Amino acid sequence: RCLVNDLRAAIDNNQLAVHYQVQTSVSTTQIRGFEALLRWNHPEHGFIPPSQFIPLAEENGLIVQLGEWVLRQACADAASWTPPYKVAVNLSPAQFAHADLHKLIIEVLMSTGLAANRLELELTESTIFQDKERSFSVLRQIKALGVNIALDDFGTGYSSLEMLRSFPFDKIKLDRSFINEAEDSLQAKSIIRAVLTLGKSLEIPILAEGIETEGQLSLLGEEGCDEAQGFLLGRPIPIGMLVESGRISL
């Protein structure tokens, strides 16, 4: 049967959930915010990972509705958090290409009451690269609202340096493939160092993704990395568990 039809129904049938993964300061381990990650609990197939259904939704345009649902849910959740941490929401290429994105963000911030500076949007290089002129003008519009813009999966795309020169990102998320190899590969370590130096001179904080070991965390600390995210610091969990863990209260 067609997974696409199921996905369409999933929005209305409460099968979707947003999980949250913590983002912390490297030097103080203080919580800075949480990344919102979409989860689909299919009635027959059980849990289907986003790596399977996001590309599908992307192909047939359903991602626009899905993305709107995630944005609204994440902003509504974050508006109720104490302390008032940031929430980071991923934007897919089709969602970013959609003409009403700017209007949608304004409407969601208004209706949820979330302050614009508590929202961060994560975009990949390839999303921005599709139409750079348009991308930068849309990003400037969104940033003018006070919303933060993070460059996701940095280092895996193309024209990274050009992109950094052309737009004042609020954060760069260094892809986890570099962190993976940081302890074993001199090359990976050199790239991490170079990116951190670049971040310092451009005055853009760097977040290291996919931190799984104490060794990786201390290495990044020594190198002066600003923020970290990964299984070591916390897996993506439902909001209920976030409250139980004591990291937020509602």
Residues that bind ligand G (CB under 6 A): 21, 37-38, 49-51, 54, 67, 70, 90, 92, 152-153, 176, 209-212, 230-231, 236
Among the listed residues 47, 37, 102, the one whose alpha carbon sits nearest the alpha carbon of residue 70: 37
- Among 6, 68, 77, 152, interactor with Mn ion by CB under 5 A: 152
Task: Write phi, then psi, for 120 (nearest 5 degrees).
Answer: -125, 135
Q: How many positions of this chain bind Mn ion (CB under 5 A)?
A: 3
3-state class (DSSP) for residue 180: helix
Q: How far is the CB of 107 from Na ion (least distance, A)?
A: 26
Among the listed residues 171, 218, 235, 211, the one whose alpha carbon sits nearest the alpha carbon of residue 32: 171
- Among 68, 120, 125, 152, interactor with Na ion by CB under 5 A: 152
11, 36 Cβ separation under 8 angstroms: no
Q: How far apart are CA 129 and CA 136, in angstroms?
A: 10
Q: How far is the CB of 121 from ligand G (least distance, A)?
A: 10
Instruction: Confirm or reject binding of residue 122 to Mn ion (CB under 5 A).
Output: yes
The residue range among 14-22, 74-82, 85-93, 146-154 that interacts with Na ion, by the rule CB under 5 A, is 146-154
Q: Using the 8-state DSSP alphabet, how is residue 22 labeled?
A: E
Which residues are at the interface with Mn ion (CB under 5 A)?
90, 122, 152
Which residues are at the interface with Na ion (CB under 5 A)?
152-153
